[in-house]
Amino acid sequence: MQYGGRYGTTIRHDDGRDGTTIRYDDTVLPHRQQAHLRGVQGVPDPQVRVRYDTMQYGGRYGTTIRHDDGRYGTTIRRYGTATPTTSPSAWCAGSPGPTGEGAIRYDAVRRTIRYHDTTRRRTIRYHDTTIRYCHTDNKPICVVCRESRTHRHHDVAPLPEVIEDMKSELRMRLIKLNWQKPMCSRVKAMDEQAKSDAKLKKQALKEKIEEDVGALVQFLLDEKDALLESLEAEEVATVTVIDENLKWVASEEAAVDKAIAEIQTQLSDSARFESISKIYASPFQMSSSIQATSCTPDWSEFTGPFQLIMWKKMMHVLHTMPQNLTLDLDTAHPSLAISDFDTKVEEGRTRSQEPDMPQRFTRFFGVLATAQYSSGQHYWEVDVRDKGVWYLGVTTEYSNRKGFVNLSPSAGYWSLCLQDRLYANEEDARIPVADYWNSPRVGVFLDYGRGRVSFYDAVTMKRVYTFTAYFDEPVSPFFSPGKNDPGSRLQICHYY
C-alpha cells in the first residue's frame, strides 16, 4: 500500500482452511529505502506505521505489512505459501516453481486507489469487493477502511443489509405515498368545490347587490327626474306669463314711439294748423296698468333638504329600515329607570317596587324591547355616547332572566359588551373585537331567516362582529346600561 508516497507490501499465505491472525506493529522506512520483511534498514520514520499480520492457515503462515498515515495509498495483495521459520522468496505464477523452500507464490495482484480530500469532502474508495456501510458518516466503505482509525469506532453494517433496510423504508414510504395520493385527490376535489361555491356565492351576492342598490338608484333617478320635470314646469309657467307681459309692454312702447314721432313732426315750422289742432285735440294716453309681471314662481319645493326628503321617501322602498323600538317595562330590572317615552334606560338611584314577573330580570341589569321577531330582517340603532359599560344584542323568548344570566349563545343570548374593551360574548369566552370604542351609536342587524346577528358602527356602517345561529323561537332586542355606571344612559334612536 502507498500512503502519501510511502509503500508497504501485503503478503498473505492461504491454503483455504481456517487460520489464526496475529498482528504486530512496528515502525519502518518507506519501501524506497529498502524496508524488508526480515528487518528494517536505515533510520525509522516515526510517521509511518507498519502493521504485521501473521496468519496461520493449517500450519502455514503469512505476513501482512501495512503502512498507514491516513492519506491515499495503493494496495498490492499477494497470495502464497510459506513457513514462519524460513525466509520467503518470491516466485511468479507463470514460473515453473519456487526458488526456495517455503517460497511465496504471487498468485494475483489487486490494486486500489484511495483518495481523500477533506476540503472538498469527496471520497473514492474501492479497496475490496466486500463493501460495508458506515452509518456514522453515511457512506459506503470497504473492509480495509473499516479497520482504519477513521471508521474503527463507527457504526458499520454490511452493505446488503443496509440496502435491504433502505428498501424496507422505501416500501413504507411507497405505502404512505399511495395513501396520501387519494387524500390529495380528495382535497383537490374539495378545493375545486369550494372554488365553485365561492363563484356561485359571489354571483348570488352580486345579483342581490345589483338588485338592492339598483332599486335605490332607480328610485333616486326617478325622484330626480320627477323633481327636474316639476322644476321645468314651474319655469315654463313663469316664463309664459312674463312673455305675455313683454308682448303687451312692447305694443305699448310702439304706440308711445308713434305718438312721439307725430308730435315731433307737428312741431316743425312747416306744420299746418289743421294737423296740429287734430293732434292737440286727441292726446295719446299710455295705459296706466303697465308694469312688470308680478308672477313670482314658488321655488320653495326645490330648496328644501332634498337628502332628508329622499331618505324619508326611500323608507317605503327599503326592505330594512331603522325601527323605532320601545322598552318593555315588565322585563326591566327593578333598579333600572325607563324614561323618554320608553326609549331611554339608565341605572336608577332607588329600587322600584315593581311586581315580580316571569320575564323580568332579577339580577342582571337588563331590559327587553316590546318587539318580537320570528322572521325577516330588522335593524335598530342605540345611542351609547358617554357610556363606559353597556350590553346590547338579542335574546330568545324563553331565555333565563332570573339570578345569574349566562350571556352565551347556548343560553339564548347573542350580544356585544363594552367594559375595558369591546367584547363578543361567545360560547366559552369573551372574544375581544376592538381595543376601544368611540362611536356614539351602535347598529344591530337581525337576519332571522339566515340566523345572523351583526353589529355595526352606525356612523361609518363598518361591521364589527357577526354571530351565526339557528333560531327556533322568537327573539327580542335586549339592552343593559351596566352596573355602577350612574349618570349615563342608553337610548334607542328614532328617526321618523
Residues 6+ apart with CB under 8 A from 327: 338, 342, 343, 345, 367, 368, 369, 370, 479, 492
DSSP character at residue 165: H
- pLDDT confidence of 310, banded at 50, 70, 90? confident
- For residue 129, what pLDDT is reported? 54
For β-strands 139-142 and 131-134, DSSP reports them as antiparallel
Distance, in Å, from the CA atom of 323 to the CA atom of 380, rounded to the nearest integer, reads: 5
Distance, in Å, from the CA atom of 409 to the CA atom of 396, rounded to the nearest integer, reads: 10
CB atoms within 10 A of CB 359: 15
Distance, in Å, from the CA atom of 307 to the CA atom of 233, rounded to the nearest integer, reads: 22
Q: Is the pLDDT of residue 396 over 80?
A: yes
- For residue 371, what pLDDT is reported? 95
- For residue 11, what pLDDT is reported? 39
Percent of the chain with pLDDT over 70: 72
Reading the block at residue 120, the C-alpha cell is: 472538498
Q: For the residues 418-424, what does the mean pLDDT come to?
A: 91
- For residue 263, what pLDDT is reported? 82
Contact 454, 394 (CB under 8 A): no
Q: Is the pLDDT of residue 281 over 70?
A: yes
For β-strands 441-447 and 344-347, DSSP reports them as unpaired
CA dihedral 118, 119, 124, 128 (to 10 degrees): -10
- pLDDT confidence of 215, banded at 50, 70, 90? confident
Maximum distance among all alpha carbons in the chain?
A: 191
Reading the block at residue 294, the C-alpha cell is: 308680478
Of 79-93, 192-206, 261-275, 380-394, the least confident? 79-93
Contact 475, 395 (CB under 8 A): yes
Reading the block at residue 173, the C-alpha cell is: 414510504
Distance, in Å, from the CA atom of 323 to the CA atom of 376, rounded to the nearest integer, reads: 13
Give tens-digit pLDDT for 27-76.
333 333 333 333 333 334 433 344 434 343 333 444 444 444 444 343 43
Residues 6+ apart with CB under 8 A from 423: 416, 417, 430, 431, 432, 433
- Integer-rounded Cα Rg, in Å, for the chain is 57
Give tens-digit pLDDT for 125-169.
445 555 788 888 888 888 778 778 887 788 888 888 888 888 999
For the chain, domain boundaries: 2-160, 162-281, 329-492
- For residue 269, what pLDDT is reported? 64
Of 63-72, 203-212, 393-402, 450-459, the least confident? 63-72
Reading the block at residue 442, the C-alpha cell is: 351602535
At the fourth CATH level, the homologous superfamily of domain 329-492 is SPRY domain (2.60.120.920)
Q: For the residues 406-422, what does the mean pLDDT come to?
A: 93
Supply the mean pLDDT for the chain: 75
Distance, in Å, from the CA atom of 43 to the CA atom of 45, rounded to the nearest integer, reads: 7
- pLDDT: is 159 or 327 the higher one? 327
